Chains A and B, each alone.
Chain A
Amino acid sequence: AQSVSQHNHHVILSEAASLELGCNYSYGGTVNLFWYVQYPGQHLQLLLKYFSGDPLVKGIKGFEAEFIKSKFSFNLRKPSVQWSDTAEYFCAVTYNNNDMRFGAGTRLTVKP
């Protein structure tokens, strides 16, 4: 079955530390890949997306993600996190332009 896995449930970092959140998806054909963020009390916001082209995708707020097809991965990175990055991060995939599937989410806590 098509599925999306996020390896880390909760990541705790100090400000200025580098971040990498893992996302792996199962094989299922053509994929479009997304990272969403949800801040406390808010709805999901799109950080970045990959449809085709350059596998290194830059998003908002200094986030980037790299699509590695051979590893079925789309890890999210940020060189230096801030306290305001504290949130829940969701990886999502659409297979063959079908319905979106989400990972379970990774909670990021950034200590000031």
Chain B
Amino acid sequence: DGGITQSPKYLFRKEGQNVTLSCEQNLNHDAMYWYRQDPGQGLRLIYYSQIVNDFQKGDIAEGYSVSREKKESFPLTVTSAQKNPTAFYLCASSITGTPKAFFGQGTRLTVV
């Protein structure tokens, strides 16, 4: 089955530690996105990538980093510089030039 997979679903980390969230897709999509959602709030764009080996900052990129070494994978690292990392993180992908987005199930990160 084709789809987009985020892992893990729940993640706990101690304050000050970096943590990497996985996002993998087998849809052959060029574009991938990372969003953050805080309780009861809407989505905010962290980073996006339209093509392998290239990515751009979104609205709230500070404290995050990404890589796009493979078309299928777009991992997000939440660094210790992110002041309020506890949130729900959603990965999405789409074919460049088309609007249809597919979403992962999300990862809820809790920093204690």
Contacts and interface: CB of A to CB of B under 8 A. Distances in A.
Given A41-B31, A41-B50, A99-B106, A105 B101 contact: yes
A90 B102 CA distance: 11
Contacts of B99: 38-40, 42, 87-88, 107
A70 interface: no
If over half of A's interface residues share one DSSP class (helix, strand or loop), that class is named, otherwise mixed; here it is strand
A38 B108 contact: no
Given A41-B96, A43-B33, A43-B48, A88 B101 contact: yes
Contact of B37 (A42, A88, A99): A99
Nearest to A94: B40
Contact of A32 (B40, B88, B98, B103): B40
- Size category of the binding interface on chain A: 20 to 34
B108 A102 contact: no
Contacts, number: 63
- Size category of the binding interface on chain B: 20 to 34
B36 to A, nearest CB: 10
Nearest to A100: B37
Nearest to B101: A38
Contacts of B98: 40-41
A46 interface: yes
Interface string A37-51: 011111110100101
Interface of A: 32, 34, 36, 38-44, 46, 49, 51, 87-88, 90, 92, 94, 97-100, 102, 105, 107
Given A40-B98, A44-B43, 13 more contacts: A34-B42, A40-B99, A41-B97, A44-B101, A46-B42, A49-B42, A51-B40, A87-B99, A94-B40, A94-B41, A99-B37, A100-B43, A107-B100
